[in-house]
Amino acid sequence: MASITQPRISPAVNTSPFYSAQLRKFAVKAMVTMLALLVAIAYLLPFGNMALISIKSADQISGSTDNNILPLSPQLYEYEGESYEVYNIPQADGTVAQWALVDKGRQSSGFIDPANPEAGLIEWQGSWRTLESVYVYDPHPENFAEAWDLINFPRLFFNTLFIAVVGMIGTLLSSICVAYAFARFPIPGKNVMFLILIGTIILPSQVTLIPTYAFFASIGWTGTWLPLIVPHFFANAYNVFLLRQFFMTLPRELDEAAMIDGAGPFRVLMAIIIPQSWPAIISVGLFHFIFAWNDYFGPLIYLLGKPDLVPQATSIMAMVLPLLIFVLAQKIFMRGVVVTGVDK
């Protein structure tokens, strides 16, 4: 902290030599970036764990208690039509030979040297149980293909995409209008209504679930996509809250200037509020997309109820699109940060 907090001296008086200031700047940069790297590693470790499990077979996952990090399987050697495990055998001269265990015995065992099978059985004195197995890298990428087939991925992908995008459009149109109303208009009882809006976030969704389901059933919408899409055209409390908080940080001077120039409320929204709010609007769009994606996938994965290894592969596939969208939206973020406040 001390290195970041600079002494309060006039910038005009440079007390330190030029190279020292450069060096300090570099040191701060290196420290900050190192910290960011450490955080990133911590955040990526669970992904790494999952990625390696996703290419393990069921045997490799539940095999032994001292499980390997990598998807490893014991190396096997084919001899006279049978498979035998290969072990590391310490030799008298200090080297380690890799022989296949063919004839297990308590005091001594018979091995075959895969490099020289014609030599026949080699007798080795000692318990084979003390020997270490030879492991080979043995990934199972076919887990992904299995998961792909199991959940009919392409159709699911399109369904989810459609529901997410249409819902996103709906929630953006409606939430921006409602947030604008709350942030800028003198509506009687506005504060009470805003508290009610917050209240709808708090309400455990289970309370409204049964009556809402009954409502959709009575108008014949169950079994269609409509219950997943239409409610989003009526504004979402989370989104209204975020956008309203953001609109409140925008100075009113620009609105007022535009209104004096004759702009109506809709014009002010389109020309003044929205252009200043792209970071918040993109965030809301992004949040909704992820919500819709996760919401649809969750129940589906739930219903399948397959063994652990399938979700590891499926969860990677489920993450690909949101990740891609976010990386692309990053650029819009960079361009869209136009919240400059009032230029004086």
Partner 1 sequence: MSAADQSRAAPASSKAQITERRRSDLARQQRIWGWIFLSPWLIGFTIFTAVPIFVSLIFTFMEFSLSSDAAPRFIGLDNWIKLFNDPVAINALGVTFRFALIAVPVGIILPLAMAALLNSKHLVGKILWRPLYYLPYMVPAISSIFIWQAFLNGQTGWLNRVLRGIGIQEPPNWFQNESTILFAFLLMGVWGIGNSMLTMLATMQGVPTELYEAAEVDGAGAFTKFRSITLPMISPVIFYNLVLSVIGIMQYFVVPYVITRGTGNPNNSAYFFNMHLYKTSFTFFDMGYGSTQAWFIFIIALVLTVVLFGTSRRWVYYASGE
Tokens 């492991």 correspond to: 135
When the beta carbons of 109 and 244 are compared against partner 1, the nearer one is: 244
d(CA 183, CA 338): 20
The least CB distance from residue 196 to partner 1, in Å, is 7
Q: Least separation, in Å, of the C-beta of 85 and partner 1?
A: 21
DSSP 227: H
Least distance between partner 1 and beta carbon 290 (Å)? 6
Closest CA to 194 of 179, 204, 205: 179
- Output the smallest distance, CB 326 to partner 1, in A: 6
Whichever of 136 and 338 has its CB closer to partner 1, that residue is 338
55-65 CB burial, b ≥16 within 10 A, e <16: bbbeebeeeee
Beta carbons within 8 Å of 339's beta carbon, 6+ residues apart = 250, 276, 277, 278, 279
Nearest to 256 by CA among 248, 247, 243, 265: 265
Residue among 126 and 298 whose Cβ is closer to partner 1: 298
Which CB, 193 or 257, lies closer to partner 1? 193
Rounded to whole angstroms, what are the CA distances from 305 to 151, 300, 301, 310, 328?
A: 11, 9, 7, 9, 33
Helices (H) and strands (E) counted in the chain, each on its own, are: 13, 8
Q: How far is the CB of 47 from partner 1 (least distance, A)?
A: 7
- CB of residue 136 to partner 1, shortest distance in Å: 19
Give least dist CB 103 to partner 1, A. 33
Closest by alpha carbon to 136, among 65, 64, 70?
Answer: 70
| Tokens 């650029």 -> residue | 331
Closer by beta carbon to partner 1, 92 or else 210: 210
Which tokens sit at 205? 């969704």
Q: Could you give the CA distance from residue 45 to residue 200 in angstroms, rounded to a whole number?
A: 36
Q: Which residues pair with 77 in a beta bridge?
A: 84
Nearer to partner 1, 136 or 324 (CB): 324
The residue among 97 and 165 lying less far from partner 1, judged by its C-beta, is: 165
Tell me the C-alpha distance between 168 and 174, whole Å: 10
* Least CB distance to partner 1 at residue 109 (A): 29
Q: Which is nearer to partner 1, 86 or 254 (CB)?
A: 254
